[in-house]
Chains A and B, each alone.
Chain A
Protein backbone atom coordinates (compact mmCIF):
# COMPACT_ATOMS: atom_id res chain seq x y z
CA UNK A 1 0.00 0.00 0.00
CA UNK A 2 2.91 2.29 0.81
CA UNK A 3 6.25 1.73 -0.82
CA UNK A 4 9.30 3.90 -0.27
CA UNK A 5 12.66 3.43 -2.00
CA UNK A 6 15.86 5.38 -1.27
CA UNK A 7 13.96 8.42 -0.06
CA UNK A 8 16.12 11.47 0.71
CA UNK A 9 15.24 14.93 1.99
CA UNK A 10 17.83 17.64 2.51
CA UNK A 11 17.27 21.10 3.97
CA UNK A 12 20.35 22.96 2.81
CA UNK A 13 23.26 21.01 4.29
CA UNK A 14 21.12 19.11 6.74
CA UNK A 15 19.99 15.67 5.65
CA UNK A 16 16.75 15.04 7.52
CA UNK A 17 15.89 11.79 5.76
CA UNK A 18 18.84 9.79 4.50
CA UNK A 19 18.14 7.12 1.89
CA UNK A 20 15.35 5.17 3.58
CA UNK A 21 13.30 2.30 2.13
CA UNK A 22 10.31 0.44 3.54
CA UNK A 23 6.98 -1.11 2.61
CA UNK A 24 3.63 -1.07 4.34
CA UNK A 25 1.12 -3.80 3.45
CA UNK A 26 -2.54 -3.16 2.91
CA UNK A 27 -4.63 -3.29 6.09
CA UNK A 28 -1.56 -3.21 8.28
CA UNK A 29 -0.89 -0.97 11.27
CA UNK A 30 2.66 0.22 10.81
CA UNK A 31 4.53 2.19 13.45
CA UNK A 32 7.37 4.52 12.58
CA UNK A 33 9.42 5.14 15.70
CA UNK A 34 12.38 7.34 16.41
CA UNK A 35 13.76 9.98 18.77
CA UNK A 36 12.98 13.67 18.32
CA UNK A 37 14.39 15.04 15.08
CA UNK A 38 14.97 11.59 13.62
CA UNK A 39 13.03 12.39 10.45
CA UNK A 40 9.60 10.90 11.19
CA UNK A 41 7.55 13.99 10.50
CA UNK A 42 9.62 14.92 7.45
CA UNK A 43 8.90 11.47 6.01
CA UNK A 44 5.19 11.86 6.68
CA UNK A 45 5.19 15.30 5.11
CA UNK A 46 6.77 13.92 1.96
CA UNK A 47 4.32 11.02 1.79
CA UNK A 48 1.42 13.42 2.25
CA UNK A 49 2.54 15.85 -0.49
CA UNK A 50 3.48 18.67 1.88
CA UNK A 51 7.18 18.46 1.08
CA UNK A 52 8.93 17.53 -2.14
CA UNK A 53 11.67 14.92 -1.64
CA UNK A 54 15.24 15.61 -2.71
CA UNK A 55 15.52 12.09 -4.10
CA UNK A 56 14.00 8.61 -4.14
CA UNK A 57 10.69 7.05 -5.08
CA UNK A 58 7.45 6.90 -3.10
CA UNK A 59 4.21 5.11 -3.91
CA UNK A 60 0.86 5.39 -2.17
CA UNK A 61 -1.67 2.94 -3.53
CA UNK A 62 0.14 3.05 -6.88
CA UNK A 63 0.35 6.85 -6.99
CA UNK A 64 3.42 9.02 -6.62
CA UNK A 65 2.61 11.74 -4.05
CA UNK A 66 5.43 13.97 -5.34
CA UNK A 67 3.85 14.11 -8.81
CA UNK A 68 0.18 13.05 -8.68
CA UNK A 69 -0.55 15.28 -5.72
CA UNK A 70 -4.30 15.63 -5.99
CA UNK A 71 -4.95 11.97 -6.81
CA UNK A 72 -2.68 10.88 -3.96
CA UNK A 73 -4.37 13.25 -1.53
CA UNK A 74 -7.67 11.49 -2.05
CA UNK A 75 -6.23 8.15 -0.94
CA UNK A 76 -5.11 9.16 2.52
CA UNK A 77 -6.22 10.90 5.67
CA UNK A 78 -3.81 12.55 8.07
CA UNK A 79 -3.81 13.56 11.69
CA UNK A 80 -0.98 16.01 12.20
CA UNK A 81 1.35 16.21 15.16
CA UNK A 82 -0.04 19.65 16.00
CA UNK A 83 -3.68 20.65 15.74
CA UNK A 84 -5.24 21.53 12.40
CA UNK A 85 -8.85 22.16 13.37
CA UNK A 86 -10.71 25.38 12.75
CA UNK A 87 -11.22 26.64 16.28
CA UNK A 88 -13.88 29.14 15.28
CA UNK A 89 -16.24 26.54 13.84
CA UNK A 90 -18.27 23.83 15.55
CA UNK A 91 -17.23 20.18 15.59
CA UNK A 92 -19.92 19.38 13.04
CA UNK A 93 -18.86 22.22 10.75
CA UNK A 94 -15.25 21.06 10.90
CA UNK A 95 -16.37 17.59 9.84
CA UNK A 96 -18.65 18.97 7.15
CA UNK A 97 -15.94 21.19 5.69
CA UNK A 98 -13.61 18.21 5.54
CA UNK A 99 -16.30 16.10 3.86
CA UNK A 100 -16.78 18.75 1.20
CA UNK A 101 -13.05 19.17 0.59
CA UNK A 102 -12.65 15.41 0.23
CA UNK A 103 -15.77 15.09 -1.93
CA UNK A 104 -17.69 12.71 0.32
CA UNK A 105 -21.02 12.26 -1.52
CA UNK A 106 -23.71 14.50 -0.07
CA UNK A 107 -25.98 11.56 0.83
CA UNK A 108 -23.27 9.83 2.81
CA UNK A 109 -21.98 12.94 4.56
CA UNK A 110 -24.44 13.31 7.45
CA UNK A 111 -24.54 9.60 8.16
CA UNK A 112 -20.76 9.24 8.17
CA UNK A 113 -20.27 12.32 10.35
CA UNK A 114 -22.83 11.06 12.86
CA UNK A 115 -21.24 7.62 12.94
CA UNK A 116 -17.75 8.92 13.61
CA UNK A 117 -18.71 11.65 16.05
CA UNK A 118 -20.75 9.10 17.99
CA UNK A 119 -17.91 6.59 17.99
CA UNK A 120 -15.47 9.18 19.32
CA UNK A 121 -18.08 10.37 21.86
CA UNK A 122 -18.42 13.86 20.45
CA UNK A 123 -21.94 13.70 19.04
CA UNK A 124 -23.46 15.49 22.04
CA UNK A 125 -21.00 18.34 21.58
CA UNK A 126 -21.29 18.58 17.81
CA UNK A 127 -22.69 22.11 17.86
CA UNK A 128 -20.05 23.53 20.19
CA UNK A 129 -17.29 25.78 18.89
CA UNK A 130 -14.07 23.76 18.79
CA UNK A 131 -11.94 26.29 20.67
CA UNK A 132 -13.98 25.51 23.79
CA UNK A 133 -12.94 21.83 23.61
CA UNK A 134 -10.35 20.19 25.84
CA UNK A 135 -7.11 18.86 24.35
CA UNK A 136 -8.41 15.29 24.38
CA UNK A 137 -11.66 16.23 22.66
CA UNK A 138 -9.80 18.12 19.94
CA UNK A 139 -7.58 15.14 19.33
CA UNK A 140 -10.57 12.82 19.12
CA UNK A 141 -12.22 15.16 16.64
CA UNK A 142 -9.10 15.26 14.49
CA UNK A 143 -8.84 11.51 14.38
CA UNK A 144 -12.56 11.16 13.66
CA UNK A 145 -12.09 13.66 10.85
CA UNK A 146 -9.16 11.66 9.47
CA UNK A 147 -11.44 8.65 8.98
CA UNK A 148 -14.30 10.67 7.50
CA UNK A 149 -13.61 10.21 3.81
CA UNK A 150 -12.88 6.47 4.24
CA UNK A 151 -9.22 6.84 3.27
CA UNK A 152 -7.22 3.82 2.20
CA UNK A 153 -4.32 4.99 4.35
CA UNK A 154 -4.44 6.98 7.56
CA UNK A 155 -1.33 8.80 8.76
CA UNK A 156 -1.24 9.48 12.49
CA UNK A 157 1.69 11.67 13.53
CA UNK A 158 2.02 11.39 17.32
CA UNK A 159 -1.75 11.44 17.74
CA UNK A 160 -1.65 10.74 21.46
CA UNK A 161 0.89 13.37 22.46
CA UNK A 162 -0.08 14.98 25.76
CA UNK A 163 -3.17 12.87 26.38
CA UNK A 164 -4.04 11.01 29.56
CA UNK A 165 -3.82 7.19 29.56
CA UNK A 166 -7.61 6.82 29.48
CA UNK A 167 -7.96 8.86 26.32
CA UNK A 168 -4.96 7.22 24.70
CA UNK A 169 -6.29 3.80 25.45
CA UNK A 170 -9.70 4.66 24.05
CA UNK A 171 -8.23 6.26 20.94
CA UNK A 172 -6.22 3.19 20.00
CA UNK A 173 -9.25 0.99 20.58
CA UNK A 174 -11.17 3.06 18.05
CA UNK A 175 -8.30 3.16 15.60
CA UNK A 176 -7.93 -0.63 15.78
CA UNK A 177 -11.66 -1.05 15.39
CA UNK A 178 -11.75 1.13 12.27
CA UNK A 179 -8.63 -0.55 10.92
CA UNK A 180 -10.45 -3.87 11.15
CA UNK A 181 -13.92 -2.83 10.00
CA UNK A 182 -12.96 -0.37 7.26
CA UNK A 183 -9.67 -2.02 6.25
CA UNK A 184 -7.73 1.22 6.62
CA UNK A 185 -3.97 0.94 6.47
CA UNK A 186 -2.56 2.91 9.41
CA UNK A 187 0.85 4.55 9.44
CA UNK A 188 1.61 6.00 12.85
CA UNK A 189 4.38 7.60 14.83
CA UNK A 190 4.49 7.76 18.60
CA UNK A 191 6.87 8.17 21.49
CA UNK A 192 4.89 5.76 23.66
CA UNK A 193 6.50 2.39 23.06
CA UNK A 194 3.77 0.47 24.89
CA UNK A 195 1.28 1.84 22.38
CA UNK A 196 3.37 0.77 19.40
CA UNK A 197 3.83 -2.65 21.00
CA UNK A 198 0.12 -3.05 21.54
CA UNK A 199 -1.24 -1.63 18.29
CA UNK A 200 1.32 -2.06 15.54
CA UNK A 201 1.81 -5.21 13.51
CA UNK A 202 5.12 -3.99 12.16
CA UNK A 203 7.60 -1.34 13.23
CA UNK A 204 10.44 0.59 11.63
CA UNK A 205 12.90 2.47 13.83
CA UNK A 206 14.46 5.56 12.32
CA UNK A 207 17.39 7.48 13.74
CA UNK A 208 19.44 10.33 12.26
CA UNK A 209 17.38 10.00 9.09
CA UNK A 210 18.23 6.31 8.60
CA UNK A 211 16.18 3.20 9.30
CA UNK A 212 18.09 1.20 11.91
CA UNK A 213 15.68 -1.72 12.34
CA UNK A 214 12.46 -3.14 10.92
CA UNK A 215 10.16 -5.98 11.92
CA UNK A 216 7.35 -7.07 14.18
CA UNK A 217 7.53 -5.94 17.82
CA UNK A 218 8.54 -9.46 18.81
CA UNK A 219 11.31 -9.58 16.22
CA UNK A 220 12.71 -6.27 17.37
CA UNK A 221 12.77 -7.45 20.97
CA UNK A 222 14.49 -10.68 19.97
CA UNK A 223 17.06 -8.91 17.81
CA UNK A 224 18.10 -6.76 20.74
CA UNK A 225 17.55 -9.30 23.52
CA UNK A 226 15.18 -6.90 25.21
CA UNK A 227 12.18 -7.58 27.41
CA UNK A 228 10.22 -4.58 26.31
CA UNK A 229 9.95 -2.56 23.13
CA UNK A 230 11.11 0.48 25.05
CA UNK A 231 14.33 -1.27 25.91
CA UNK A 232 14.76 -2.47 22.33
CA UNK A 233 14.26 1.10 21.17
CA UNK A 234 16.89 2.45 23.54
CA UNK A 235 19.33 -0.25 22.50
CA UNK A 236 18.80 0.64 18.86
CA UNK A 237 18.93 4.40 19.16
CA UNK A 238 21.10 4.94 22.26
CA UNK A 239 20.12 6.54 25.52
CA UNK A 240 21.47 10.03 24.79
CA UNK A 241 19.03 12.92 24.66
CA UNK A 242 18.44 14.41 21.22
CA UNK A 243 16.75 17.68 21.91
CA UNK A 244 19.82 19.79 21.21
CA UNK A 245 20.43 18.33 17.79
CA UNK A 246 16.78 18.41 16.99
CA UNK A 247 16.33 22.07 17.76
CA UNK A 248 19.30 23.24 15.72
CA UNK A 249 18.15 21.08 12.84
CA UNK A 250 14.70 22.54 13.29
CA UNK A 251 16.09 26.03 13.15
CA UNK A 252 17.96 25.31 9.96
CA UNK A 253 14.80 23.83 8.57
CA UNK A 254 12.98 27.02 9.46
CA UNK A 255 15.60 29.15 7.74
CA UNK A 256 15.63 26.91 4.69
CA UNK A 257 11.84 27.05 4.60
CA UNK A 258 11.84 30.82 4.82
CA UNK A 259 14.19 31.18 1.89
CA UNK A 260 12.51 28.61 -0.23
CA UNK A 261 9.26 30.53 0.16
CA UNK A 262 10.83 33.85 -0.67
CA UNK A 263 12.16 32.69 -4.01
Chain B
Protein backbone atom coordinates (compact mmCIF):
# COMPACT_ATOMS: atom_id res chain seq x y z
CA UNK B 1 0.00 0.00 0.00
CA UNK B 2 2.78 2.43 0.87
CA UNK B 3 4.19 1.89 -2.62
CA UNK B 4 0.89 2.96 -4.17
CA UNK B 5 0.85 6.01 -1.91
CA UNK B 6 4.42 7.13 -2.64
CA UNK B 7 3.92 6.84 -6.41
CA UNK B 8 0.59 8.69 -6.19
CA UNK B 9 2.35 11.38 -4.18
CA UNK B 10 5.09 11.62 -6.79
CA UNK B 11 2.60 12.34 -9.56
CA UNK B 12 1.02 15.05 -7.42
CA UNK B 13 4.36 16.63 -6.55
CA UNK B 14 5.38 16.73 -10.17
CA UNK B 15 2.10 18.40 -11.05
CA UNK B 16 2.31 21.04 -8.35
CA UNK B 17 5.93 21.84 -9.19
CA UNK B 18 5.40 22.39 -12.89
CA UNK B 19 3.41 25.63 -12.81
CA UNK B 20 4.11 26.39 -16.45
CA UNK B 21 2.55 23.08 -17.36
CA UNK B 22 -0.55 23.77 -15.28
CA UNK B 23 -1.13 27.05 -17.08
CA UNK B 24 -0.34 25.54 -20.48
CA UNK B 25 -2.67 22.60 -20.03
CA UNK B 26 -5.51 24.90 -19.04
CA UNK B 27 -5.05 27.06 -22.13
CA UNK B 28 -6.81 24.77 -24.58
CA UNK B 29 -9.96 24.07 -22.54
CA UNK B 30 -10.15 27.75 -21.66
CA UNK B 31 -10.08 28.63 -25.34
CA UNK B 32 -12.84 26.12 -26.10
CA UNK B 33 -14.89 27.36 -23.17
CA UNK B 34 -14.68 31.02 -24.00
CA UNK B 35 -14.59 30.96 -27.79
CA UNK B 36 -17.26 28.31 -28.22
CA UNK B 37 -19.24 29.42 -25.20
CA UNK B 38 -19.54 32.98 -26.37
CA UNK B 39 -18.95 32.47 -30.10
CA UNK B 40 -21.50 29.73 -30.80
CA UNK B 41 -23.81 30.85 -27.98
CA UNK B 42 -26.10 33.08 -30.08
CA UNK B 43 -26.57 30.45 -32.85
CA UNK B 44 -27.29 27.76 -30.29
CA UNK B 45 -29.82 29.98 -28.57
CA UNK B 46 -31.53 30.91 -31.84
CA UNK B 47 -31.97 27.22 -32.62
CA UNK B 48 -33.94 27.00 -29.42
CA UNK B 49 -31.46 24.96 -27.39
CA UNK B 50 -30.94 27.40 -24.53
CA UNK B 51 -27.72 28.85 -23.19
CA UNK B 52 -24.66 27.29 -24.86
CA UNK B 53 -22.25 28.12 -22.04
CA UNK B 54 -24.49 26.12 -19.69
CA UNK B 55 -24.50 23.29 -22.20
CA UNK B 56 -20.82 23.24 -23.10
CA UNK B 57 -19.23 23.65 -19.66
CA UNK B 58 -19.78 20.01 -18.59
CA UNK B 59 -18.28 19.01 -21.95
CA UNK B 60 -15.22 21.20 -21.48
CA UNK B 61 -14.71 19.92 -17.92
CA UNK B 62 -14.85 16.36 -19.30
CA UNK B 63 -12.38 17.31 -21.99
CA UNK B 64 -9.96 18.73 -19.44
CA UNK B 65 -10.18 15.56 -17.37
CA UNK B 66 -9.79 13.40 -20.49
CA UNK B 67 -6.69 15.16 -21.81
CA UNK B 68 -5.02 15.43 -18.45
CA UNK B 69 -5.63 11.82 -17.40
CA UNK B 70 -4.73 10.17 -20.70
CA UNK B 71 -1.52 12.18 -20.96
CA UNK B 72 -0.50 11.39 -17.42
CA UNK B 73 -0.40 7.76 -18.54
CA UNK B 74 1.44 8.51 -21.74
CA UNK B 75 3.92 10.58 -19.73
CA UNK B 76 5.31 7.20 -18.74
CA UNK B 77 7.23 7.58 -21.98
CA UNK B 78 9.31 10.30 -20.29
CA UNK B 79 9.99 8.05 -17.35
CA UNK B 80 11.10 5.41 -19.81
CA UNK B 81 13.31 7.94 -21.61
CA UNK B 82 14.83 9.39 -18.45
CA UNK B 83 15.11 6.01 -16.80
CA UNK B 84 12.96 6.42 -13.71
CA UNK B 85 10.62 3.69 -14.93
CA UNK B 86 13.42 1.15 -14.43
CA UNK B 87 13.84 2.16 -10.82
CA UNK B 88 10.22 1.27 -10.13
CA UNK B 89 10.23 -1.87 -12.28
CA UNK B 90 13.09 -3.57 -10.41
CA UNK B 91 11.68 -2.65 -7.01
CA UNK B 92 10.41 -5.56 -4.91
CA UNK B 93 6.83 -4.39 -5.29
CA UNK B 94 4.19 -6.16 -7.38
CA UNK B 95 3.86 -4.29 -10.65
CA UNK B 96 0.13 -3.97 -10.19
CA UNK B 97 0.78 -1.67 -7.21
CA UNK B 98 3.12 0.49 -9.24
CA UNK B 99 0.58 0.70 -12.02
CA UNK B 100 -2.25 1.57 -9.63
CA UNK B 101 -0.17 4.23 -7.86
CA UNK B 102 0.75 5.94 -11.12
CA UNK B 103 -2.79 5.70 -12.46
CA UNK B 104 -4.40 7.08 -9.31
CA UNK B 105 -1.86 9.90 -9.30
CA UNK B 106 -2.68 10.81 -12.88
CA UNK B 107 -6.41 10.59 -12.18
CA UNK B 108 -6.10 12.86 -9.14
CA UNK B 109 -4.22 15.45 -11.14
CA UNK B 110 -6.91 15.27 -13.83
CA UNK B 111 -9.67 15.89 -11.27
CA UNK B 112 -7.79 18.92 -9.94
CA UNK B 113 -7.46 20.25 -13.49
CA UNK B 114 -11.18 19.68 -14.05
CA UNK B 115 -11.99 21.61 -10.87
CA UNK B 116 -9.80 24.50 -12.00
CA UNK B 117 -11.69 24.74 -15.30
CA UNK B 118 -14.97 24.46 -13.43
CA UNK B 119 -13.96 27.40 -11.26
CA UNK B 120 -13.03 29.44 -14.32
CA UNK B 121 -16.37 28.62 -15.95
CA UNK B 122 -18.16 29.95 -12.86
CA UNK B 123 -16.35 33.22 -13.34
CA UNK B 124 -17.32 33.17 -17.03
CA UNK B 125 -20.98 32.89 -16.07
CA UNK B 126 -21.74 29.18 -15.80
CA UNK B 127 -24.53 28.50 -13.26
CA UNK B 128 -25.38 24.88 -12.37
CA UNK B 129 -29.07 24.28 -11.76
CA UNK B 130 -28.56 21.47 -9.23
CA UNK B 131 -26.48 22.63 -6.30
CA UNK B 132 -27.71 19.86 -3.99
CA UNK B 133 -26.13 17.01 -5.95
CA UNK B 134 -22.99 18.97 -6.68
CA UNK B 135 -20.67 16.54 -4.80
CA UNK B 136 -21.78 13.92 -7.30
CA UNK B 137 -19.86 15.89 -9.91
CA UNK B 138 -16.60 14.92 -8.18
CA UNK B 139 -17.58 11.28 -8.23
CA UNK B 140 -18.15 11.39 -11.97
CA UNK B 141 -15.04 13.46 -12.64
CA UNK B 142 -13.06 10.90 -10.66
CA UNK B 143 -14.63 8.08 -12.65
CA UNK B 144 -13.84 9.71 -15.99
CA UNK B 145 -10.31 10.42 -14.79
CA UNK B 146 -9.77 6.85 -13.67
CA UNK B 147 -11.11 5.38 -16.92
CA UNK B 148 -8.74 7.45 -19.06
CA UNK B 149 -5.75 7.37 -16.75
CA UNK B 150 -5.96 3.56 -16.96
CA UNK B 151 -6.21 3.74 -20.72
CA UNK B 152 -3.24 6.12 -20.71
CA UNK B 153 -1.20 3.68 -18.62
CA UNK B 154 -2.09 0.88 -21.02
CA UNK B 155 -0.96 3.01 -23.97
CA UNK B 156 2.15 4.22 -22.15
CA UNK B 157 3.16 0.61 -21.51
CA UNK B 158 3.31 -0.23 -25.21
CA UNK B 159 4.56 3.10 -26.58
CA UNK B 160 8.26 3.06 -27.38
CA UNK B 161 8.85 6.49 -28.82
CA UNK B 162 7.52 9.98 -29.28
CA UNK B 163 6.15 9.38 -32.78
CA UNK B 164 3.48 7.12 -31.38
CA UNK B 165 2.20 9.97 -29.28
CA UNK B 166 1.01 12.01 -32.27
CA UNK B 167 -0.84 8.97 -33.53
CA UNK B 168 -2.64 8.54 -30.25
CA UNK B 169 -3.47 12.23 -30.11
CA UNK B 170 -4.99 12.35 -33.58
CA UNK B 171 -6.61 8.95 -33.84
CA UNK B 172 -7.64 8.38 -30.26
CA UNK B 173 -7.81 11.35 -27.92
CA UNK B 174 -9.35 13.87 -30.31
CA UNK B 175 -11.97 11.42 -31.67
CA UNK B 176 -12.88 10.43 -28.11
CA UNK B 177 -13.41 14.10 -27.35
CA UNK B 178 -15.27 15.14 -30.51
CA UNK B 179 -17.52 12.06 -30.59
CA UNK B 180 -18.54 12.35 -26.95
CA UNK B 181 -21.22 14.98 -27.35
CA UNK B 182 -19.09 17.41 -25.36
CA UNK B 183 -19.79 20.15 -27.93
CA UNK B 184 -23.16 19.16 -29.41
CA UNK B 185 -26.37 17.48 -28.20
CA UNK B 186 -26.68 13.75 -28.94
CA UNK B 187 -30.28 14.02 -30.02
CA UNK B 188 -31.25 13.81 -33.73
CA UNK B 189 -27.81 12.59 -34.88
CA UNK B 190 -27.44 10.53 -38.08
CA UNK B 191 -27.68 6.85 -37.22
CA UNK B 192 -24.01 5.99 -37.85
CA UNK B 193 -22.77 8.86 -35.73
CA UNK B 194 -25.23 8.00 -32.99
CA UNK B 195 -23.82 4.47 -32.78
CA UNK B 196 -20.23 5.68 -32.69
CA UNK B 197 -20.97 8.18 -29.94
CA UNK B 198 -22.46 5.39 -27.84
CA UNK B 199 -19.22 3.39 -28.07
CA UNK B 200 -17.23 6.30 -26.71
CA UNK B 201 -16.66 6.05 -22.94
CA UNK B 202 -16.49 9.82 -22.62
CA UNK B 203 -20.06 10.12 -23.91
CA UNK B 204 -21.30 8.71 -20.61
CA UNK B 205 -19.02 10.97 -18.61
CA UNK B 206 -20.24 14.07 -20.42
CA UNK B 207 -23.83 12.91 -20.10
CA UNK B 208 -23.43 12.33 -16.37
CA UNK B 209 -21.82 15.72 -15.73
CA UNK B 210 -24.55 17.38 -17.75
CA UNK B 211 -27.09 15.52 -15.66
CA UNK B 212 -25.46 16.67 -12.44
CA UNK B 213 -24.92 20.29 -13.45
CA UNK B 214 -27.87 21.21 -15.64
CA UNK B 215 -30.26 18.28 -15.24
CA UNK B 216 -29.97 17.16 -18.86
CA UNK B 217 -29.14 13.52 -19.28
CA UNK B 218 -29.79 11.23 -22.22
CA UNK B 219 -29.07 7.92 -20.47
CA UNK B 220 -29.66 8.61 -16.77
CA UNK B 221 -27.00 8.89 -14.07
CA UNK B 222 -27.19 5.25 -12.94
CA UNK B 223 -26.66 3.98 -16.46
CA UNK B 224 -23.77 6.43 -16.99
CA UNK B 225 -22.13 5.30 -13.76
CA UNK B 226 -22.56 1.64 -14.66
CA UNK B 227 -21.01 2.06 -18.10
CA UNK B 228 -18.12 4.11 -16.74
CA UNK B 229 -17.45 1.45 -14.10
CA UNK B 230 -17.34 -1.20 -16.80
CA UNK B 231 -14.90 0.81 -18.90
CA UNK B 232 -12.80 1.47 -15.79
CA UNK B 233 -12.65 -2.24 -14.98
CA UNK B 234 -11.76 -3.14 -18.57
CA UNK B 235 -9.06 -0.47 -18.97
CA UNK B 236 -7.48 -1.00 -15.58
CA UNK B 237 -7.19 -4.74 -16.32
CA UNK B 238 -5.73 -4.01 -19.73
CA UNK B 239 -3.33 -1.47 -18.22
CA UNK B 240 -2.25 -3.83 -15.46
CA UNK B 241 -1.66 -6.61 -17.96
CA UNK B 242 0.37 -4.48 -20.39
CA UNK B 243 2.29 -2.84 -17.56
CA UNK B 244 3.24 -6.23 -16.13
CA UNK B 245 4.63 -7.19 -19.55
CA UNK B 246 7.05 -4.27 -19.89
CA UNK B 247 10.60 -5.44 -20.55
CA UNK B 248 13.43 -2.97 -20.76
Complex: chain A residue closest to B94, CB-CB = A70
B126 to chain A, nearest CB (A): 33
Q: Which residues of A contact B10 (CB under 8 A)?
A: 86, 89, 93, 97
Specify which of B2, B6, B82, B246 is in contact with A87 (CB 8 Å cutoff).
B82
**Contacts A86-B87, A88-B17; A50 near B248 (Cβ below 8 A):** yes
A193 to chain B, nearest CB (A): 26
B245 within 8 A of A: yes
B83 within 8 A of A: yes
Q: Which residues of A contact B94 (CB under 8 A)?
A: 70
**Contacts A88-B14, A88-B17, A97-B10; A83 near B88 (Cβ below 8 A):** no
B133 within 8 A of A: no
Question: Could you tell me the distance between the alpha carbons of A217 and B87 in the complex, rounded to whole angstroms?
Answer: 32
Interface of B is mostly: helix
| A88 and B18 contact, CB distance less than 8 A | yes
Question: Could you tell me the distance between the alpha carbons of A260 and B245 in the complex, rounded to whole angstroms?
Answer: 9
| A261 and B90 contact, CB distance less than 8 A | no
Report B1-38 CB contacts with A as 1/0, cut-off 8 Å: 01101110010011001100000000000000000000
Question: Could you tell me the distance between the alpha carbons of A71 and B94 in the complex, rounded to whole angstroms?
Answer: 10
| A70 and B92 contact, CB distance less than 8 A | yes
Q: Which residues of A contact B40 (CB under 8 A)?
A: none
A115 within 8 A of B: no
B18 to chain A, nearest CB (A): 7
User: For chain B residues 32-74, which have a beta carbon within 8 Å of chain A?
Assistant: none
Specify which of B3, B7, B82, B90 is in contact with A49 (CB 8 Å cutoff).
B90
**Contacts A51-B247, A101-B6; A86 near B84 (Cβ below 8 A):** yes
B172 within 8 A of A: no
| B245 and A261 contact, CB distance less than 8 A | yes
A74 within 8 A of B: yes
A82 within 8 A of B: yes
Q: Which residues of B contact A73 (CB under 8 A)?
A: 90-92
**B2, B18, B85, B157: which has the most chain A beta carbons within 10 Å?**
B2
Q: Which residues of A contact B165 (CB under 8 A)?
A: none
Q: Which residues of A contact B17 (CB under 8 A)?
A: 88, 129
Tally of A interface residues using CB under 8 Å: 35
Report B73-114 CB contacts with A as 1/0, cut-off 8 Å: 000000100111111111111100000000000000000000
A198 within 8 A of B: no
Report A236-263 CB contacts with B as 1/0, cut-off 8 Å: 0000000000000000000001101111
Report B157-172 CB contacts with A as 1/0, cut-off 8 Å: 1101000000000000
Question: Could you tell me the distance between the alpha carbons of A261 and B157 in the complex, rounded to whole angstroms?
Answer: 9
A78 within 8 A of B: yes
A133 within 8 A of B: no
A174 within 8 A of B: no
| A97 and B6 contact, CB distance less than 8 A | yes
B185 to chain A, nearest CB (A): 39
Question: Could you tell me the distance between the alpha carbons of A52 and B247 in the complex, rounded to whole angstroms?
Answer: 9
Complex: chain A residue closest to B83, CB-CB = A84
| A83 and B83 contact, CB distance less than 8 A | yes
Report A67-101 CB contacts with B as 1/0, cut-off 8 Å: 00011011000101011111111000100111011
A5 within 8 A of B: no
| A50 and B92 contact, CB distance less than 8 A | no
**A-B pairs with lowest CB-CB distance, top 6:** A73-B92, A84-B83, A101-B91, A74-B92, A84-B87, A100-B6
Listed in ascending order, the chain A residues whose CB lies under 8 Å from chain B are 45, 48-52, 70-71, 73-74, 78, 80, 82-89, 93, 96-98, 100-103, 129, 257-258, 260-263
* Chain A to chain B contacts (Cβ below 8 Å), 5 pairs: A84-B83, A96-B6, A97-B6, A98-B87, A257-B160
Listed in ascending order, the chain B residues whose CB lies under 8 Å from chain A are 2-3, 5-7, 10, 13-14, 17-18, 79, 82-94, 157-158, 160, 245-248
User: Given A48-B90, A70-B92, A261-B245, 10 more contacts at CB 8 Å?
Assistant: A50-B89, A50-B248, A70-B94, A84-B84, A84-B87, A85-B82, A86-B10, A87-B84, A102-B91, A261-B160
